[in-house]
Structure 1
Amino acid sequence: MSVPEQQAHNPAPATAPETVHEAAEAPAPAAAEPVPALPDHPPTSLVPSASRWSRLSRGTVLAIGAGIGAAVVGACWAGLSLAGSAEETFSTDGTLTVNGIGSGLDSGDPCSGTDGYSDIDFGTQVSVTDAAGTLVAKGSLGLGKETELGCEFPFTVDDITPGSKFYTVEVSHRGGLTQTEDELRAGGLAFTLGD
């Protein structure tokens, strides 16, 4: 086969048509405006503000600290004063003797109220009221013991609020006996019931 025939059977490869690209025309650059110069320091809105304490003089800070300290000490003193007034309460003690009961018992034997005095016994309430009739403290009778006179019950009343002109001490519902504050503070009160 001759070369020309070979070429006739093998056509030349087709070439891609050439594409003509036209360069897009870029707009002409606008005249650049001048960029403002940056300040030597950043704007104050971007700078964290200094602490108020750091702006004060040392003497001012010390004066403020001393004022706060004095206020704290004053508050503590007032609190202790109020608490102290609650601690100024006082106590009293005494005995209640029910005459004529417990006959046949040896001296010092335990005893209780009998017959018309059955409400008088260990644990019976002793109340203290102030001049206005307000209950200010209460206690209770202790264990009764036989004496020569009858059955004697000791009692103690704590936390009596001071400041009343007089106080009334009452055991059970037996009627009260009036005492001054000094008499109550002295203690050693002796009450009797019965003949």
Structure 2
Amino acid sequence: MPVPEQQPHTPPPSTIPEKPGVAPEESESASASVSLWSRLSRGTVLAIGAGLGAAVVGACWAGVSLAGGNGADTPEAGTTGSPSVRAEQDADVEGPFSTDGTLTVAGIGAGLESEELCSGTGGYSDIDFGTQVNVTDAAGTLVAVGSLGFGEKTEQGCEFPFTVDDITPGSKFYTVEVSHRGGLTQTEDELRAGGLAFTLGD
């Protein structure tokens, strides 16, 4: 009785399970991308990241520059800076001003060294450190008050410096008087320039 010929057993072809929802082409592309990044050194990756960051910052800076360069905030010709700066400049011209000068009492301080401290004597005993200096306007109104500084011996006698601040502007002329010794009449421009000089005595 013939024996039936046995067929060799061939195992079914093996199949690689696919990831659900991922096409073979996408899987191969992702694998290639991961493989590429894994071959790059850390320094190269950092360099690429820094380059991208610099490009983004540059683009933002350019956008801000273009937005601010449309001329909307550019001062008009003939103006100077911000409103606060212009206000200060106007105040310098129109606001209160100061003046300074000296009062010399001639012929006193004999025997004193040059620049040694001195005071008015005899009939000028009212001339000393702290003596009041008055400034009045054309109407005779007192508009500012100052005082004498320390007297110093000079070749001419005893010289006292003074400064008067916060003089009200706008008068045609002003009179500057030390104590009750009579006044020196000046224009506003002359007062603003300063350097006034009084002399008492011979």
TM-score, normalisation: structure 2:
0.54
The root-mean-square deviation of aligned C-alpha atoms, in Å, is: 2.1
Output the amino acid matched with 1:143: F
Counterpart-to-counterpart distance in 1, 2:167 and 2:128 = 23
Output the amino acid matched with 1:151: C
118, 123, 143: which one pairs with 2:125? 118
Instruction: Determine the structure 1 residue equivalent to 2:108.
Output: 101
Instruction: Determine the structure 1 residue equivalent to 2:62.
Output: none
- Counterpart check, 1:154 vs 2:150: no
Counterpart-to-counterpart distance in 1, 2:106 and 2:133 = 18
Q: Is the 8 A contact 2:136 2:174 kept in 1?
A: yes
Instruction: Determine the structure 1 residue equivalent to 2:140.
Output: 133
**Partner SS state of residue 159, structure 2:** strand
Larger radius of gyration: 1
Q: Unaligned stretches of 5+ in structure 1?
A: 1-76
Q: Give the deviation of 1:131 after TM superposition.
A: 0.1
Shift >3 Å, 4+ stretches:
84-87
More helix by share: 2
Output the amino acid matched with 1:157: V
Output the amino acid matched with 2:200: L
**Partner SS state of residue 128, structure 1:** strand
Q: Unaligned stretches of 5+ in structure 2?
A: 1-83
**Partner SS state of residue 98, structure 2:** strand
- Could you tell me the percent identity over the aligned residues? 82
Q: CA-to-partner distance for each residue in 1:101-125, whole Å, 9 max, x for gaps?
A: 0011000000000000000000000
TM-score, normalisation: structure 1:
0.56
Output the amino acid matched with 2:184: L
Q: 1:97 to 1:85 in 2, by over 3 A?
A: closer
Q: Is the 8 A contact 2:94 2:169 kept in 1?
A: no
Q: 1:183 to 1:134 in 2, by over 3 A?
A: same
**Partner SS state of residue 145, structure 1:** strand
State how many pairs are aligned. Answer: 116
Counterpart-to-counterpart distance in 2, 1:192 and 1:181 = 21
